[in-house]
Amino acid sequence: DGGITQSPKYLFRKEGQNVTLSCEQNLNHDAMYWYRQDPGQGLRLIYYSQIVNDFQKGDIAEGYSVSREKKESFPLTVTSAQKNPTAFYLCASSIVRTRRTDTQYFGPGTRLTVL
Amino acid sequence: AQKITQTQPGMFVQEKEAVTLDCTYDTSDPSYGLFWYKQPSSGEMIFLIYQGSYDQQNATEGRYSLNFQKARKSANLVISASQLGDSAMYFCAMREENTGTASKLTFGTGTRLQVTL
């Protein structure tokens, strides 16, 4: 089945620890994105990548890091520098060939809780 | 800067009735795209419909249609013949399309729709 997978579904972390969230897609999409969602709010962009080995900061990149070594994978690391990391994290991907087809499709999300 | 406003935190609709979810936007870019996503309780964001700023006709996808009024900067989602499975959060989002690069979406705060019997 083609799609976007995120793991784990639930993640618990102690304060001061780094943690990495996985995002994999087998849709052959060029671009990948990470968003954060807090209760009662919309999604905010953390990082995005249009091609392998290249990525850009979104609106709330502080305390996060990413890598894009393979087209299929875009892991997100939540570092200890992120002051309030408890949130729902969503990964997305898109084709980026023409604007009309540049629709973002989302994975199922990872819920991160800092204890 | 882009901004999306959804003023209805929650809406109720009876099964088989139509419902309109409001969305207004603000942008200085002449070329932009507007999206609606559905988020069920499972959390996944499901793409529903897209409208380009230069599209002459309102977008439709099955039971979903987008009432695009450019002069008013509104892009309301209309769901016809509501079903119980339509109960979810609905998000309006916008993308500026003159940047030449990435597809950065700006989201509203969402509207929770509850379909009743």
d(CA A51, CA A55): 7
Across the interface, of A58, A100, A103, the residue whose CB is closest to B47 is: A103
User: Across residues B20-30, what is the average pLDDT?
Assistant: 94
By the CB < 8 Å criterion, does B107 face chain A?
A: yes
Please give the pLDDT value at position B64. Answer: 98
Question: Which chain A residue shows the shortest CA-CA distance from B103?
Answer: A102
Burial (CB count within 10 angstroms: exposed 0-12, middle 13-18, buried 19+), residue B28: exposed
Residue B33 Cα, gap to closest chain A Cα (Å): 8
Q: Between B100 and A8, whose confidence is greater? A: A8
Alpha-carbon distance B102 to nearest alpha carbon in chain A (angstroms): 7
Position A96 scores a pLDDT of 74
Q: Note whether A92 contacts B35, CB cutoff 8 Å.
A: no
pLDDT digit string, tens, across residues A46-99: 999 988 999 999 999 999 999 999 999 999 999 988 889 999 999 999 987 666
Give the other-Cβ count within 10 Å of A76's Cβ. 24
Q: Is residue B98 scored above 90 in pLDDT? A: no
pLDDT tens digit sequence for B49-82: 999 999 889 999 999 999 999 999 999 999 999 9
Closest chain A C-alpha to B43 CA, distance in angstroms: 6
Provide, as residue numbers in chain A, all residues whose Cβ is less than 8 Å from the Cβ of B97: 99
Cα dihedral across residues A12, A74, A91, B4: positive or negative: positive
Higher pLDDT, B72 or B101: B72
Mutate to test the interface with B, among A11, A30, A37 (most CBs of B within 10 A): A37
pLDDT for A99 equals 66
Mean pLDDT for the stretch of residues B12-23? 98
The β-bridge relationship of strands B111-116 and B10-14 is parallel
The more confidently predicted of residues A99 and A18 is: A18
